[in-house]
Structure 1
Amino acid sequence: MEIWRLITVAITFSSLVIPEIFANNGTTVPPDDVCAEEKCSPYGPVVRFPFRLKGKQPENCGYDAGYDLNCDYMNRTVLEISSPSMKFLVKNISYKSQMIQVNFAEGCQLKHLRDLDISAIQFQFSSPGYMVHRYTLFNCSLVNNNTRYSGYPYWSISCLDTPGYEVIATASNNEIQSLSVELCTKMYDTNLVSAEIFEMKNMLNLAWSLPRCKSCEVHEGGICGRKNGTNNQIDCYGGKTYKFDVLKKLLIAGPIIGCLFLLFAASAFYHVYSTKKLNKKNQMRIREFLEDYTAMKPTRYSYADIKRITNDFKDKLGEGGYGNVFKGKISNEIYVAVKLLHNSTGNGEEFINEVGTMGTIHHVNVVRLIGFCADGFKRALLYEFLPNGSLDKYIFPEGQEHHSLGMEKLHNIALGIARGIEYLHQGCEQRILHFDIKPHNILLDNDFNPKISDFGLAKLCEKGRSAVSMTAARGTMGYIAPEVFSRHFGNVSYKSDVYSFGMLLLEMVGRRKNIDATVQNVSQVYFPEWAYGRLVNGEDLRIQVEEDGEDKIARQLAVVGLWCIQWNPVERPSITFVLQMLEGNEENLSLPPNPFTSKDPINPTNPSVHRRTLGSGLSVISESE
């Protein structure tokens, strides 16, 4: 009975919908002439969607207000941004590569550099060979006009010079070797910009990601425009669409026979080749993702390249549930850590998550993705190699070679992790929720600067949203916020990462796992609760310190950690406020409310026991419950 119902639906669809589709002969009706191309001058760039030339094209011709262009009194095409107010002369617009080439307008526009926030507008730096960094500006005295700084890693900004002084810029994370401290004074730090903005020898290249018109303009040979009667929906005008060709062949064979054949064939393949079809679907999903990803920074390698880079997987660094990690070498100077994923790595979601997320972000406290491999079912990720390994071996030294880090160094590591999380939450175009902050995913470079790694469980969400939807819990036991297990405790949001960071801070203070099943005294099993009790009573934390003042640092980290693990997400601070507490004076910190007298609806009479149960294996409560 069900099959005949499906057949009836298929016949109705073929007889009614398909003829309607072919009424337009495989093309889309073009937009009105009111949005035709315009220029400021015969030699100026052509202006069309997503841009709008103010005064010559109606408001509905552009994608939004950020894409408005003007003609100045010399009939030059001008792009204005408001964060801060800066003017650029538009030299060329490439609609196929979604890139606009500009020069500074008159005057020293670099005087606004301090307030320039490229993340607040719709454009991104896109020129190859220029890294996006935070830069620091220095005012350097010229002694007898002999002392000048030029060339990498310094850029002279002549329009900001004053008599007898030269203004230079350098990346904030560079080691300043030749810069004379006596002759130079720090002026200020910039937001994240490209070094190209200091040179401007030819043109500055800015790219836009929305609207996504590349497929229409490049592959279909059409022109991208606003869909009639909509706000920000787009359509492809004048381009050929392949879906109509497929439907035309089905129409020739006859709607009834074709629908019946597809229906029975789909049923047969579902039962006989379901596994094979699922694998093909997953492979196609990854291929489609990689096609959209070709313009991004990380390099794609073949599996043969991976074998060569790792010397046939000779030097193994570690292993986990995802696969094994090997040390590799791209050149004599560049070493990498190669994560070789198991062939059974699900439907490719974690692979796409990690490459898609890490390929678009650059921060000193986030590990850099150098490349990836997607060769059939063989997948690998190449990261910068960090010789000091992960944080866990420095705070859980049992059974390993003993490593010791003082409390001051741990405090600096905590600051770096917090800055990395703040960048993920606030500094990207979309907020990135990590969902697996733990010591094993914090890597340390030569100077023990921390870098957040492993974005396989990460999730993107709009900055304006207060909560995200999830179909299942994700993370590692002992670090997962309670609301990730059950919506009874509140909505899942960026506060879930704050909770995990708080658990990490308390483990750094105690130099042990928060939940220790080997301890005989049950009251000592859950370290955070024990630490809170001692702080409330004005007692020290019995932390072994090597230098004066380290006990105050331990107390500061513990108090901040206890603020972060509040049971109710609303009572936890944002990561920006956490960073302020870590950077501030320990004496100004007050103890948070007791996170262990919980409003837990599951076990309100003994919340601490329930919390230990949560960390050691609470079953997941689905969102529908």
Structure 2
Amino acid sequence: MPVLNLLIVALFFLPICNSRKQSSCSSLCGNLSIQYPFRLRNDPTNCGDSSYELACEHERPVLTIGYGRFYVESISYDNETLHAVDPGLKTNDCSSLPRYAWTANNLSGFSEYCNDSYYHLPYGLSLETEDAMIYLNCSTTVNSSEYLDASPCITNSSLPQAHHLYVFLGNLQAASLSNSCDYFLMTPAVIQTPGNLTYADIHKKLTIGYELSWSNSSFSSICESNGGYCPFSDGIGDSKRIYCRGPLTSVNCFVHYLWIAIQGCIGLVLKIVGYYTLIRAAVGILCMSLYLIYKWWKRASIDEYVEEFLRNYENLKLRKFSYSDIKRMTGGFNEQLGQGGFGSVFKGKLSNGCLVAVKMLAEAKGDGGDFINELRTIGTIRHVNVVQLLGFCFEGSKKVLIYEYMPNGSLDKYLFSQEDVCTLSWSRMYEIALAIAHGIEYLHRGCHMRILHLDIKPHNILLNEDFTPKISDFGLAKLYPRNDSVVSLTNARGTRGYMAPELLYKNIGGISSKSDVYSFGMLLMEMAGRRKNLNPFVKNLSQIYFPSWIHDQLEQKGEVEIKDATAEEKDVGKRMIMIALWCIQLKPADRPSMTKVVEMLEDTSEPLQMPPKPALTPERKRS
């Protein structure tokens, strides 16, 4: 109800409506007149809108967009548009490239590997198009009408390691990116379709600038049409004012807008209020009835599904507990060990004094698949590096799993925690990595059915009193016959940052045990770096994506810089990183098997070849 909102705003500003002269608020920067809603930094505080502040440098207006600084070439106050030019572009030099990479929105398909959050537009400004212009560097020639050849404008000397350079207009999905191409720059599109234009023609349009638009509020537009000026401030107290210039006074300004708001409200209220309550009540009753029926049907289906599984797997050597047993062993769920999307974990004690971890699955969690997955996989295997499932409880909506207790918690506490926890030595970290690799290899080869974990990450690696690692959380695991090399999944599983790319993009390769190898590689990289692989808060932008940065360090220097580390510890760290880089190769066929990973970790005397640079890395800001 926009008119009602205007009425509320008008009533709120009545006591503090103030009249001022604004004739002095027009400024000049070079030959460009700066008027409302824009202002220069040195203008009086009552001039313009602070959200539209410009800098004036060397007689040229400068607009800041995130970390980028763009020259304002023209402003049309009638059309409410301006043209902003990237300072990296040079007229009559089509080899010049935009200095800043930015778009109106994150490109679909690239959001996992790129971050456009540094380039949000200032409040109130918007681009005329959401399409992007994407610069591609391809190792081979691409024969496609969708790719616009950027040669000879952008020569091989313009960029390091340049091959065949193209420009793509529109929304490029990662799945449609040619295998031989990498993108290195994205900017807003200045045209919709290239038609018969060349890149030189497009570059010429780029030098004219990106067209940005703004829109005044209805209050401000009415005020301007009557010779007034009424911007709204976001401040408090005396800073919340309506400024009016010309013949309008504060009272006249308020009365004029109040009358307009009342006229709209009267008609709107008479037409809507009578029907609104009736329709809302009817829709509410219908939706609630449908929701309750759905919940009842879903609960009955889940219970039947789980009970059928338990009947078919009566040979599981697991103890079944009642829910009253669960409450007794946890002391009424007194001590919570952790919580996540799966539910909560509590500390408990069996009647024989053995400590256990009690995992309460969330009632709204899926269709019981996680509960059954844990029972079917971990309930039938025993391995020193896999957490042991001791029992379960299933009573109505209550689904509980009882595990052996891990007093040292999960591995992520020793990698990322800011708290005062003991630091694991490099030798201990290497032993943990090798033990995890043994556990994953057992899942892939040691059971009568292959088991894909599909969620290997530090949070799912638990440590016992001797810091022996144990793989946990098999809620997303997938069993498949030993003779099959590829697994079929209906939807992607795992955690962003550790999930293998073939789970998202089917054209990369099939889902197999190599998917767990990728997750282990990302885990191993974080163990070696003692940090998250993707960290946007680092001081050096080149270190945002750790695997890419550390590969460059190894390639340039041949070693890993580890603070206060001995030569032996540096060798350990370097070996862990090189193995991790092999594990996180883009294509599954380029990754080693888990058995080979174990061999590389065990035989420290065997030299390792330098792996290729990981193909999928977050986009970096051009400077």
TM-score (normalised: structure 1): 0.52
Q: Retained in 2: the 8 A contact 1:406–1:545?
A: no
> Following the alignment from structure 2 to structure 1, what is the Cα–Cα distance between the partners of residues 324 and 455?
31
* 2:310 aligned partner, one-letter code: L
> Following the alignment from structure 2 to structure 1, what is the Cα–Cα distance between the partners of residues 295 and 354?
41
Q: Retained in 1: the 8 A contact 2:542–2:620?
A: no
Alignment counterpart, residue 423 of structure 1, candidates 433, 442, 445: 442
Q: Retained in 2: the 8 A contact 1:415–1:582?
A: yes
Alignment counterpart, residue 496 of structure 1, candidates 485, 498, 515: 515
Q: Retained in 2: the 8 A contact 1:397–1:403?
A: no
Question: What SS does the corresponding residue of 2:337 show, helix, strand or coil?
Answer: strand
Alignment counterpart, residue 408 of structure 2, candidates 388, 393, 403: 388
**Residue 470 (1) aligns with residue 470 (2):** no
Deviation of the 1:522 alpha carbon: 2.3
CA separation of 1:523 and 1:328: change in aligned 2, threshold 3 A: same
Question: What SS does the corresponding residue of 2:401 show, helix, strand or coil?
Answer: strand
Alignment match, 1:594? 613
CA separation of 1:586 and 1:481: change in aligned 2, threshold 3 A: farther
Deviation of the 1:454 alpha carbon: 0.1
Which of 1 and 2 has higher RCO (CA within 8 Å, sep 6+)? Answer: 2
Deviation of the 1:436 alpha carbon: 0.3
Alignment match, 2:319? 299
Question: What SS does the corresponding residue of 1:514 show, helix, strand or coil?
Answer: coil
Q: CA deviation digits over 1:284-328, x for unaligned, max 9? A: 000011112222111111110000010101111111111111100
Deviation of the 1:546 alpha carbon: 4.6
**Residue 414 (1) aligns with residue 433 (2):** yes
CA separation of 1:611 and 1:361: change in aligned 2, threshold 3 A: farther
Q: Retained in 2: the 8 A contact 1:433–1:458?
A: yes
Alignment match, 1:609? 618
Q: Retained in 1: the 8 A contact 2:543–2:549?
A: yes
* 2:350 aligned partner, one-letter code: I
Alignment counterpart, residue 460 of structure 1, candidates 474, 479, 484: 479
Q: CA deviation digits over 1:128-167, x for unaligned, max 9? A: xxxxxxxxxxxxxxxxxxxxxxxxxxxxxxxxxxxxxxxx
**Residue 580 (1) aligns with residue 599 (2):** yes
Alignment counterpart, residue 484 of structure 1, candidates 478, 481, 503: 503
Q: CA deviation digits over 1:487-515, x for unaligned, max 9? A: 02111111000000000000001000000
Alignment counterpart, residue 290 of structure 1, candidates 287, 310, 315: 310
Deviation of the 1:535 alpha carbon: 1.1
Alignment match, 2:538? 519
Q: Retained in 2: the 8 A contact 1:317–1:327?
A: yes
Alignment counterpart, residue 367 of structure 2, candidates 332, 347, 351: 347
Alignment counterpart, residue 551 of structure 2, candidates 513, 525, 532: 532
Alignment counterpart, residue 333 of structure 2, candidates 313, 316, 341: 313
Aligned length: 333
Q: Retained in 1: the 8 A contact 2:330–2:347?
A: yes
Q: Report matched runs for 1:39-438 at 5 Å.
A: 273-398=293-418, 400-438=419-457
> Following the alignment from structure 2 to structure 1, what is the Cα–Cα distance between the partners of residues 292 and 337?
41
CA separation of 1:278 and 1:380: change in aligned 2, threshold 3 A: same
> Following the alignment from structure 1 to structure 2, what is the Cα–Cα distance between the partners of residues 495 and 346?
26
**Residue 559 (1) aligns with residue 568 (2):** no
> Following the alignment from structure 1 to structure 2, what is the Cα–Cα distance between the partners of residues 456 and 429?
19
Flag structure 2 segments of 5+ consecutive residues without an equivalent.
Answer: 1-288
Deviation of the 1:332 alpha carbon: 4.8
Q: CA deviation digits over 1:336-373, x for unaligned, max 9? A: 00011111122101110011111101000000000111
* 1:339 aligned partner, one-letter code: K
Q: Retained in 2: the 8 A contact 1:406–1:546?
A: no
Deviation of the 1:571 alpha carbon: 0.4
Alignment match, 2:77? none
> Following the alignment from structure 1 to structure 2, what is the Cα–Cα distance between the partners of residues 573 and 442?
21
Q: CA deviation digits over 1:451-488, x for unaligned, max 9? A: 00000000011112121111111101100010001102
> Following the alignment from structure 2 to structure 1, what is the Cα–Cα distance between the partners of residues 603 and 617?
30
Q: Retained in 2: the 8 A contact 1:341–1:379?
A: yes
Alignment match, 1:439? 458
Deviation of the 1:590 alpha carbon: 1.3
Question: What SS does the corresponding residue of 2:400 show, helix, strand or coil?
Answer: strand
CA separation of 1:548 and 1:539: change in aligned 2, threshold 3 A: closer
> Following the alignment from structure 1 to structure 2, what is the Cα–Cα distance between the partners of residues 403 and 396?
12
Larger Rg: 2
Q: Retained in 2: the 8 A contact 1:441–1:452?
A: yes
Alignment match, 2:10? none
Question: What SS does the corresponding residue of 2:575 show, helix, strand or coil?
Answer: helix
> Following the alignment from structure 2 to structure 1, what is the Cα–Cα distance between the partners of residues 569 and 290?
64
* 2:376 aligned partner, one-letter code: G
Flag structure 1 segments of 5+ consecutive residues without an equivalent.
Answer: 1-268, 597-606, 613-625
Alignment match, 1:571? 590
CA separation of 1:490 and 1:541: change in aligned 2, threshold 3 A: same
> Following the alignment from structure 2 to structure 1, what is the Cα–Cα distance between the partners of residues 305 and 391?
19
Q: Retained in 1: the 8 A contact 2:547–2:614?
A: no
Q: Retained in 2: the 8 A contact 1:545–1:551?
A: no
